[in-house]
């Protein structure tokens, strides 16, 4: 592996937007670490991309587990020595699986806890663990959020998911402020409603469209820090 090749880590990359993000970053000449909770799915996904002559490795990562995150960070450090791009894509949307759960008046608090554990604390764990490996020059952290987390356009329903994405956006702003003098840029992105297992078959956007702004934030030389973007344009928090 060339020591000049940038290293990108994409979490939740076994399928959907994460998988397509891994593909697009690899097409731009990066070495991509495709991180997935299910090791079999991760291996299969990475093999598919290697079949396209892309430089992709797989690694197991459960963002809800402190030990898994620590082991992943040790593996990345030992194998690659640094991380230039981190895409916190791992996420779940489990509201609605119990009766009345889509109403805030009857939300199951345990559902909220599980959602926050993956969507917020997972991103926090992984960022904290990999931050020491990120060069203080032009590294990027991209948090995959959602328009459902916009306070400026907040509606009812899907309480756990909405709360988690609001919190992930806050985490973006906190990291961006604390790292503003390091050269590491931290941003949130709304991919839109995308055809994935989560988004469903009626969604109007492809995974390629959903990944586009993520890859732009990870590679464009002139992006700012501490912003929220959709279609490569800033959107209100």
Of 103-107, 108-112, 152-156, 191-195, the one with minimum mean pLDDT is 191-195
What percentage of the chain exceeds 90 in pLDDT?
86
Is the pLDDT reported for residue 182 higher than 60?
yes
Catalytic positions, please?
A: 161
Task: Calculate the average pLDDT of the chain.
Answer: 94
The 10s digit of each residue's pLDDT in 59-93 is 999 999 999 999 999 999 999 999 999 999 999 99
- Mean pLDDT in residue range 102-114: 91
Is residue 121 helix, strand or coil?
A: helix
Q: Tens digit of pLDDT for each residue in 48-61?
A: 999 999 999 999 99
Which pLDDT band holds residue 200 (cuts at 50, 70, 90)? confident
With CA atoms as reference, report the closest residue to 93 among 40, 41, 42, 146: 146
Q: Categorize the per-residue pLDDT at 164 as very low, low, confident or very high, splitting at 50, 70 and 90.
A: very high
pLDDT above 70 for 168: yes
- Structure confidence by residue, pLDDT tens digits, 94-105: 997 655 667 899
Contacts 24+ apart (CB under 8 A), 34-41: 34/10, 34/58, 34/59, 35/9, 35/10, 35/11, 35/59, 35/60, 35/61, 35/72, 35/90, 36/12, 36/60, 36/61, 37/12, 37/61, 37/62, 37/63, 37/90, 38/14, 41/14, 41/15
Residue 152 pLDDT > 70: yes
Closest CA to 16 of 163, 200, 189: 200
What is the pLDDT, as a whole number, of residue 1? 45
**Domains observed in the chain:** 7-234 (3.40.50.720)
């Amino acid at each position: 592996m060339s020591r000049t090749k940038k290293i990108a880590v994409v979490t939740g990359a076994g399928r959907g937007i994460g998988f397509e993000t891994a593909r697009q970053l690899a097409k731009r000449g990066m070495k991509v670490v495709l991180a997935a909770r299910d090791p079999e799915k991760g291996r299969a996904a990475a093999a598919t991309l290697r079949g396209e002559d892309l430089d992709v490795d797989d690694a197991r990562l459960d963002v809800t587990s402190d030990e898994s995150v620590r082991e992943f960070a040790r593996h990345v450090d030992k194998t690659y020595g640094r991380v230039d791009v981190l895409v916190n894509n791992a996420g779940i949307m489990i509201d609605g699986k119990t009766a009345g759960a889509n109403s805030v008046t009857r939300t199951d608090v345990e559902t909220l806890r599980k959602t926050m554990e993956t969507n917020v604390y997972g991103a926090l764990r992984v960022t904290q663990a990999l931050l020491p490996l990120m060069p203080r020059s032009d590294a990027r952290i991209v948090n995959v959020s959602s328009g459902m987390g916009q306070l400026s356009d907040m509606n009812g329903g899907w309480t756990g998911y909405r709360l988690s994405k609001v919190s992930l956006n806050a985490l973006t702003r906190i990291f961006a402020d604390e790292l503003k003098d390091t050269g590491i840029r931290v941003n949130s992105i709304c991919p839109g409603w995308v055809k994935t297992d989560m988004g469903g078959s009626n969604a109007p956007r492809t995974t390629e469209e959903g990944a586009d702004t993520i890859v732009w934030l990870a590679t464009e030389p002139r992006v700012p820090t501490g912003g929220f973007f959709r279609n490569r344009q800033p959107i209100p928090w």
